[in-house]
């Protein structure tokens, strides 16, 4: 995890152009704001005097005490919804904190007249490096744990809680950082930042996808970009071309502004008919719905003419917290978020964590290959109480509005049977009159090829082409090194989609991966038989325009999917 510390902005700059990868379109200009890891932080602590030592020691003790309380709260919630063994990890972390506090090392640091922040940073960094030097995955994990604890204590010393990592970024800045997590994107979008420049980020990662949904321009790389930029540098970030201009001259600024205006005008022109239904030239209706990952994007979906929410990713309700939400908290939040939709259908997906979406409060053991490990439904079945909490909240919400429930990362028929049994038993316990529709995501080749066995247990299907692409082309969606293999328009993905549609035998199917919003592919998806697409809200107006130009009758239609 990274955290904010503005670095030194002094020194002359000459105009320069850096070329990286275009991750999220749009353009932004503003002053750079560097994010550096608190533990590695470049800023020097304050020198203190001899008689300040006692006060700094008290500050440290208070920060440790607050960090202990956070860990205790997290342990309680995790034990309620997961299990005691996982909660035990927080107890181990508390013991680690106590051990460091009583080691005498912090006092030695203070005696050398550095302030509390620097003392804590030096001591935790020492422990981190010690663990790192002992080779092996268990020590690597201990090193990461100790680093996280150090950051937790430093944030407390600085008077910030864990949820407020980006609270100090002034609006209009270009954020420059090494890693971007999905939870960071949501926090950033609320800060009104102009753009992001990140050291490395794959376009298929959830952080990238959320940035596109939130319309935050993002450029990844080039390598070493974070070291080359300084807080205060003037930057022009072009998320279409993947370029960053440092210290632009007047001419570069002018050209950039003109491009920005052209882009904004094109977006506005497209909005025109977005609230009307999308009918092909021969009158076939195609439902165009919105994918939502960030809770405050419901308004954006409505604004862009969404016919409903085709994929509501609820991960943010979990990722933005330091402890998991209760059933009541979930229900309340979902109720508030979906209220503006006024009865339009909402497909809410059960929690899909793991892979590139680590959860701060869930210290799962590190996996060698997280994308092929415990993700989505696999984790829900491992911790059934976690699934029950969500199912209860969603079922209760379904009594008030048109909610559909979707299960992520189905691979086997056994997966869908087991989660269906949990759904049925939760429903039975709640005495809800009308059962909501229950669906499965098809996002592994095994699920696509075995769709007939999965379809027996559900009311609808939703094809997640992002994961389907990573598993079909054997290219991690969050690994920029293999981006050239991560091609969601590849014939193999389209072939699996065609098989899914044919073998699902008329069951309603939505396509909800990024592929659904690719204008050039929409006619082909319609010809395959897709009649329901779900995409980032901003893409809806253009997608509707494309659909209105397609003629299907008289052409061979590959399947019968209707949603």
3-class secondary structure, 367: coil
Q: What is the rounded distance in angstroms from the CA atom of residue 280 to the CA atom of residue 550?
A: 5
Which position among 443, 447, 473, 544 is part of the footprint of ligand PEP (CB under 6 A)?
443
Interactions with ligand PEP, residue window 52-71 (CB under 6 A):
none
Point out the residue whose Cβ comes nearest to ligand PEP: 464
Residues forming the site for Mg ion (CB under 5 A): 443, 464, 467
Nearer to ligand PEP, 115 or 443 (CB): 443
Interactions with ligand PEP, residue window 496-525 (CB under 6 A):
512-513
The minimum distance between CB 443 and ligand PEP, in angstroms, equals 5
The minimum distance between CB 467 and ligand PEP, in angstroms, equals 3
Could you say which DSSP state residue 330 is in? H
The minimum distance between CB 464 and Mg ion, in angstroms, equals 4
User: Contact region for ligand PEP (CB under 6 A) — 111-119, 179-187, 378-386, 459-467?
Assistant: 459-467
User: Contact region for ligand PEP (CB under 6 A) — 31-39, 41-49, 416-424, 464-472?
Assistant: 464-472
Nearer to ligand PEP, 233 or 352 (CB): 352
Strand (E) or helix (H) holding 404: strand 403-410
The minimum distance between CB 526 and ligand PEP, in angstroms, equals 19
Which position among 189, 466, 483, 532 is part of the footprint of ligand PEP (CB under 6 A)?
466
Instruction: Name, in order, each residue with C-beta under 8 angstroms of 445's C-beta and a sequence gap of 6 or more.
Output: 468, 471, 472, 496
Q: Which residues are catalytic?
A: 206, 512
Q: What is the rounded distance in angstroms from the CA atom of residue 65 to the CA atom of residue 157?
A: 11
| CA-to-CA separations, 361 to 320, 346, 437, in angstroms, rounded | 10, 27, 31
Nearer to Mg ion, 217 or 293 (CB): 293
Taking CB under 6 A as the rule, does residue 465 contact ligand PEP?
yes
Write down the residue that tokens 């005691």 correspond to: 84
Among Mg ion, ligand PEP, none, residue 208 binds (CB under 5-8 Å by kind): none
User: Contact region for ligand PEP (CB under 6 A) — 24-32, 226-234, 244-252, 463-471?
Assistant: 463-471
The minimum distance between CB 299 and Mg ion, in angstroms, equals 24
Q: Residues binding ligand PEP: what is the number (CB under 6 A)? A: 11
Q: What is the rounded distance in angstroms from the CA atom of residue 90 to the CA atom of residue 85?
A: 10
Interactions with ligand PEP, residue window 181-240 (CB under 6 A):
209
What is the chain's length?
563
C-alpha torsion sign, points 97, 103, 108, 111: positive
Tokens of 333: 């939040």
Residues in a beta bridge with 289: 534
User: Contact region for ligand PEP (CB under 6 A) — 2-10, 66-74, 114-122, 460-468?
Assistant: 460-468
Taking CB under 6 A as the rule, does residue 354 contact ligand PEP?
no
Nearer to ligand PEP, 153 or 319 (CB): 319
Taking CB under 6 A as the rule, does residue 304 contact ligand PEP?
no
DSSP 40-80: T--SPPPB--GGGHHHHHHHHHHHHHHHHHHHHHHHHHHHH
Residues in a beta bridge with 235: 30, 246
C-alpha torsion sign, points 270, 272, 275, 276: negative
CB 113 within 8 A of CB 49: yes
Among ligand PEP, Mg ion, none, residue 70 binds (CB under 5-8 Å by kind): none
Which position among 30, 182, 203, 464 is part of the footprint of ligand PEP (CB under 6 A)?
464
Taking CB under 6 A as the rule, does residue 313 contact ligand PEP?
yes
The minimum distance between CB 186 and Mg ion, in angstroms, equals 18
3-class secondary structure, 535: strand
Tokens of 400: 């008030």
| Peptide linkage before 222 cis (omega within 30 of 0) | yes
Taking CB under 6 A as the rule, does residue 450 contact ligand PEP?
no
Which position among 115, 233, 297, 467 is part of the footprint of ligand PEP (CB under 6 A)?
467
Crossing angle of helices 206-213/182-189, nearest 10°? 20
Among Mg ion, ligand PEP, none, residue 465 binds (CB under 5-8 Å by kind): ligand PEP
Pairing of strands 403-410, 21-24: unpaired
Write down the residue that tokens 């696509």 correspond to: 448
The minimum distance between CB 478 and ligand PEP, in angstroms, equals 10
Binding residues for ligand PEP, rule: CB under 6 A, are: 209, 311, 313, 352, 443, 464-467, 512-513
């Amino acid at each position: 995890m990274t955290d904010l510390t503005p670095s030194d902005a002094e020194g002359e700059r000459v105009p320069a152009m850096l070329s990286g990868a275009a991750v999220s379109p749009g353009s932004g200009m503003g002053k750079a704001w560097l994010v550096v890891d608190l533990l590695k932080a470049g800023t020097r602590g304050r020198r203190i005097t001899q008689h300040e030592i006692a006060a700094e020691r008290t500050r440290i003790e208070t920060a440790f005490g607050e960090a202990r309380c956070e860990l205790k709260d997290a342990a309680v919630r995790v034990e309620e919804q997961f299990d005691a063994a996982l909660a035990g990890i927080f107890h181990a972390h508390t013991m680690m904190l106590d051990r460091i506090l009583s080691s005498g090392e912090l006092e030695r640091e203070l005696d050398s007249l550095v302030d509390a922040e620097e003392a804590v940073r030096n001591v935790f960094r020492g422990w981190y490096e010690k663990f790192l030097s002992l080779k092996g995955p268990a020590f690597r994990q201990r090193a990461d744990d100790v680093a996280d604890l150090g950051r937790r204590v430093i944030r407390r010393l600085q008077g910030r809680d864990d949820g407020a990592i980006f609270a100090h970024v002034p609006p209009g800045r270009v954020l420059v950082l090494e890693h971007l997590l999905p939870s960071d994107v949501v926090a950033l979008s609320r800060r009104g930042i102009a753009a992001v420049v990140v050291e490395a980020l794959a376009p298929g990662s959830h952080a990238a996808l959320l940035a596109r949904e939130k319309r935050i321009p993002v450029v990844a790389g080039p390598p070493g970009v974070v070291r080359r930029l300084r807080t205060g540098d003037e930057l022009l970030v072009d998320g279409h071309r993947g370029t960053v201009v440092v210290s632009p001259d007047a001419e570069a600024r002018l050209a950039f502004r003109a491009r920005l205006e052209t882009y904004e005008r094109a977006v506005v022109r497209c909005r025109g008919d977005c609230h009307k239904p999308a009918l092909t030239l021969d009158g076939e209706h195609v439902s165009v719905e919105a994918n939502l990952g960030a809770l405050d994007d419901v308004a954006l979906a409505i604004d862009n003419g969404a016919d409903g929410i085709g994929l509501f990713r609820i991960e943010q309700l979990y990722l933005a917290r330091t402890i998991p939400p209760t059933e009541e908290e979930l229900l309340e939040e979902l109720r508030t978020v979906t209220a503006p939709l006024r009865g339009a259908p909402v497909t809410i997906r059960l929690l899909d964590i793991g892979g590139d979406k680590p959860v701060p409060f869930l210290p799962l053991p590190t996996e060698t290959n997280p994308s092929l490990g415990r993700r989505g439904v696999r984790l829900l079945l491992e911790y059934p109480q976690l699934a029950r909490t969500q199912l209860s909240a969603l079922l209760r919400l379904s009594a008030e509005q048109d909610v559909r429930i979707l299960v992520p990362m189905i691979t086997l028929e056994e997966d869908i049977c087991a989660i269906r049994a949990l759904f049925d038993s939760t429903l039975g316990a709640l005495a809800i009159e009308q059962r909501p529709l229950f669906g499965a995501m098809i996002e592994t080749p095994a699920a696509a090829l075995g769709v007939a066995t999965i379809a027996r247990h559900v009311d609808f299907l939703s094809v997640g082409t992002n994961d389907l692409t990573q598993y079909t082309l054997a290219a991690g969606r969050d690994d920029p090194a293999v981006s050239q293999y991560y091609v969601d328009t590849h014939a193999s993905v389209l072939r699996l989609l065609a098989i899914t549609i044919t073998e699902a035998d008329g069951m309603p199917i939505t396509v909800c991966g990024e592929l659904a919003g690719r204008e050039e592919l929409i006619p082909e998806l319609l010809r395959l038989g897709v009649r329901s697409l779900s995409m980032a809200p901003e893409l809806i107006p253009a997608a509707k325009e494309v659909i209105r130009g397609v003629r299907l009758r008289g052409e061979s239609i590959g399947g019968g999917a209707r949603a």
